[in-house]
Amino acid sequence: MAERSDRAPARWRRPFLRWLDGVEAGWAVPLLIACFVAIWTLYLAIAYAGGGLHPDTLEAWTLGRRFAWGYHKHPPLMGWVAAAWTSVFPVSEWSLQLMAMVNAGLALFFVDLIARQFVTGHKRILVLLLLMLTPAYQFHAQRFNANAVLLATWPLATWCFLRAFETRRASWAIAAGCTAALAMVGKYYSIFLVASFAFAALAHPARRAYFTSASPWISAVTGLAVLSPHIYWLATTGASTFTYAMAHANGDAVSKLGDVRNFLLGLVAAMSVSAVIWVFIAGTRMKQFAADFAAMSPGLRLLFYVAVGTIVLPVLTSLAMGTDLPSLWALQGLFLFAVPVVCGTRYPIERFYTVNLTVIAAGVALAAVLVAAPIHAVYRNNYGYEEGRNFYVQAASELTREWHELTGERLSAVSGDDSLAFATAFYSPDHPNYARPFEYQYTWGLPRKTTLDRGWAALCFRGQDYCNRWMEWVSGRAGHFVRREFTVQATLWGRPGLTRDVIVLMVPPRGQGAAPESAADDVSASQRTAD
């Protein structure tokens, strides 16, 4: 049937076939990726209307407001990307949603750079379509954080490594070192990718030619040189990012085995839809898999060894050290399996299947935008999010209004519950600085005296006992403060949703003279409700 369709395609298939003719002409893949970015950005805009950005995305933007070679919780790449993006695009929800999906689009583009080394024509499209049916490039990508930023850096680093191994040219060796370092400042989990490069090179039959050349040593020196500012930052600041990472270690034997099992099952689940579709495409030709694997080209075999390393090395590390091992930490590496499976086939795949898969991917995307996104938005408006995203805009606006009413000045610093503080920094027209030092995120330290002297505010949701106890402690030391409470209500397209109480603590700039008063008295005198 597939062969007959390719010989005499139905009328509705002909535009798709003309599009597939443009793969080698250079415009078909960019068009596919542009459509992917556009439709899934639209999905985010609808699904999260009235819901606010994810706290991880807001954290990335907050970090990027101050350039540094490192941050106390995460390596710096996600902050750098957010800062670079908002230096060109406005500070708004749609802008950062677009940033998240452009990151996913770049990831797919870099995957295509790898695939085109091994196949031509519509097989390149097939690789991308199979990846588009995994959750990595839409739902994982929309939460732009230290994990999502690896979606683009891993395939870029892999492409450069493959080229450096194959050509052994100094230019590609330098590129491999730079991109590997870039992945490392995205998240330290990337050490497994870098180690997998070494493992793959050692396992490959051409290892002697590679290691006796200058290529691997140029890559190593270049990578360390690029990483040196971050390494210096770690050495001079106490390496708090490593402390944060090691907080996920030292599990017991039962938890280790459970994490490894869930890690593997999670990756299988993420690839399950694509795997089932691939079985239908291959059909009886699946019997050739063993022969195709044995005849795999040297470049694909190198890529396969990298894929094996990115699974085996984290599993061994987790078993040895008891580290947490969520499968979402490895979603950026799914392409390492998709490329060898599709590109390793020695038989031709009919364009009939690529057209069908294009229609499936487009149908899923359209259903998500037209059906799932509105349902999700309405549901969340009525039932909310655990982190309170529905109330970010309203809480930030009301705190800013009350601060202006109290002081007549711009709000310059905010802290409290991290999600609310990040949101206030982003959504408030004053864009105050996040003033809770990141090294205190889990110990709830007292704001610096200079911060309090310049004026400072904090906010928590009612019911967050840990946050409210911290505000009581701060108010006992602040000297002069005003505490208020107001109610915010979620809205979606003019439709009211659930409500939640917010408690704020405001310390006016020193010299403005707000009289010290008890928190209890101030709440009773200043109870407010925000629409």
pLDDT in tens, 45-72: 999 998 899 999 999 999 999 999 988 8
Q: What's the token pair of residue 283?
A: 């059909």
Q: Which of 6-15, 76-85, 299-308, 386-395 has the lowest mean pLDDT?
A: 6-15
| pLDDT at position 437 | 57
Residue reference for tokens 């202006």: 404
Q: How big is the chain, counted in residues?
A: 531
The angle that helices 93-115 and 77-86 make with each other, rounded to 10 degrees, is 120
Token reading at 449: 């005296």
Please identify which residue in the block is written with the tokens 């990508």: 141
pLDDT at residue 521, rounded to an integer: 37
Under the banding of pLDDT at 50, 70 and 90, the label for residue 528 is very low
Q: Distance (Å, rounded) from C-alpha 20 to C-alpha 22?
A: 5
Would you place residue 449 in the very low, low, confident or very high pLDDT band (cuts 50, 70, 90)?
Answer: confident
CA–CA distance from 150 to each of 11, 30, 99, 107, 333 (Å)?
A: 41, 21, 14, 9, 9
Sign of CA dihedral 416, 420, 422, 426: negative
pLDDT of residue 264: 93
Helix (H) / strand (E) element for 241: namely: helix 240-246
Q: What integer pLDDT is reported at residue 19 of this predicted model? A: 95
List 489's β-bridge partners, or say none.
499
Res. 466 pLDDT band, cuts 50 70 90: confident
Q: What is the maximum span of the chain, computed from C-alpha positions, in angstroms? A: 85
Q: Which DSSP category does 516 fall into?
A: P
What local confidence, expressed as pLDDT, does residue 2 receive? 76
Q: How many CA atoms lie within 13 A of 24 on its CB side?
A: 7
* Position 452, amino acid: L
- 94 phi, psi to nearest 5 deg: -60, -30
Place of tokens 């076939």: 17
Report the distance separating Cα 443 and Cα 468, nearest Å: 14
Give the least confident one: 176-185, 242-251, 377-386, 395-404: 242-251
- Average pLDDT over every residue of 515-531: 37
Q: Which helix (H) or strand (E) holds 377?
A: helix 373-383
For the stretch 370-429, pLDDT in tens is: 999 999 999 999 999 988 999 999 999 999 999 999 999 999 999 888 899 999 999 999
Q: Is 120 left (phi over 0), alpha (psi -120 to 50) or beta?
A: beta
531 or 152, which is more confident: 152
Q: Is the pLDDT of residue 231 over 70?
A: yes
Q: How far apart are CA 349 and CA 447, in angstroms?
A: 63
Report how far residue 507's alpha carbon sits from residue 479's, in angstroms, rounded to the nearest whole number.
Answer: 9
